[in-house]
Amino acid sequence: MKALILVADGFEDLSLFVPWYRLREEGFDVRLAGPMMHAVAGVHGYRIEPDIRIHEVNPSEYDALIIPDGVAVERLRLREEAVDVTRTFMQDGGTRVAAIGHGAQLLISAGVLDGRMVTCDPGIRDDVRAAGALFRDEAVVRDGNLVTARGPDDLPAFCALFVRALAAARV
């Protein structure tokens, strides 16, 4: 199975690296997609190189999409190709989508939260409600193909639930 993680400068390091390595432990081929093909830095200074540019992504080649937390989400949501890719993944009900913390902002920009049950960083809960989502103040929430987490402190619960959701999709 293949998973895609969207990246840009300002990603929250833990919310990128923990799911990335956890999915690799499960045997996933995990790719990083960024706006450009140059290194991007996390908020704690870790640098990574994207494998592919976002506008080159073919969502049908992937089984999962992960949107990490961090100020990178603000940069991604201003790029139409990131919004379009996210919308496409969400509209394909068989693809699992995960958003951690502020990652829900990209889902808002994609217009895919209406009627969905989600959690997110508490600082944007009013934004997800305004987008039509039902906010739950829980570590992790699953609604169909969408799994959301509040932030880095909830990564153990997030990874456990997301891996189970992906395993169920394999069957």
Active-site residue flag, 55: no
pLDDT at 114 over 90: yes
Residues 38/64, Cβ–Cβ less than 8 Å: no
pLDDT tier for residue 169 given thresholds of 50, 70 and 90: confident
Length of the chain as a residue count:
171
Query: What's the mean per-residue pLDDT of the chain?
Result: 95
Q: Pick the catalytic residue from 38, 44, 55, 102.
A: 102
Per-residue confidence (pLDDT) for residue 93, from 0 to 100: 72
pLDDT at 171 over 70: no
Hey, what amino acid is at 135? F
Give the integer Cα–Cα distance in Å for 130 and 122. Answer: 14
Per-residue confidence (pLDDT) for residue 97, from 0 to 100: 96
Per-residue confidence (pLDDT) for residue 9, from 0 to 100: 97
Give the integer Cα–Cα distance in Å for 14 and 56. Answer: 26
Instruction: Provide the sign of the torsion angle of the four alpha carbons 59, 100, 87, 78, taken in this order.
Output: negative
**Domains in the chain, please, with CATH?**
2-170 (3.40.50.880)
Q: Using one digit for the tens of pLDDT, what is the confidence trace for 28-64? A: 999 999 999 999 999 999 999 999 999 999 999 999 9
pTM score = 0.96
Helix-strand-coil split of the chain, %, nearest 5: 45, 25, 30
